[in-house]
Amino acid sequence: MTFWRIFPQTPGPYTSDTLVFKVINDNANISELQISVDGQPITITCEPQSVRSVFFSRCPNTIQLLWHGLETEEGEFVAAQDFSAGQYTFTQGQFICGSGLVFRVTSNNSFTLLSI
| Confidence category of residue 1, pLDDT binned at 50, 70, 90 | very low
Q: Tens digit of pLDDT for each residue in 52-64? A: 988 887 889 999 9
Kindly give the pairing relationship between strand 100-105 and strand 19-25: parallel
For 110, the domain range is 4-115
Predicted confidence at residue 55, as pLDDT, reads: 84
CATH code, domain carrying 51: 2.60.40
Contacts of 88 by beta carbon, 8 Å cutoff, 6+ apart? 64, 65, 113
State the pTM of this model. Answer: 0.82
Q: Tens digit of pLDDT for each residue in 44-98? A: 999 999 999 888 878 899 999 999 999 999 999 999 999 989 888 999 888 888 8
Number of domains observed in the structure of the chain: 1
Average pLDDT for residues 26-30, to the nearest whole number? 94
Rounded CA separation 64/106 (Å): 20
- List of E strands, the chain: 4-7, 19-25, 30-37, 40-46, 50-56, 62-71, 77-82, 89-91, 100-105, 111-115
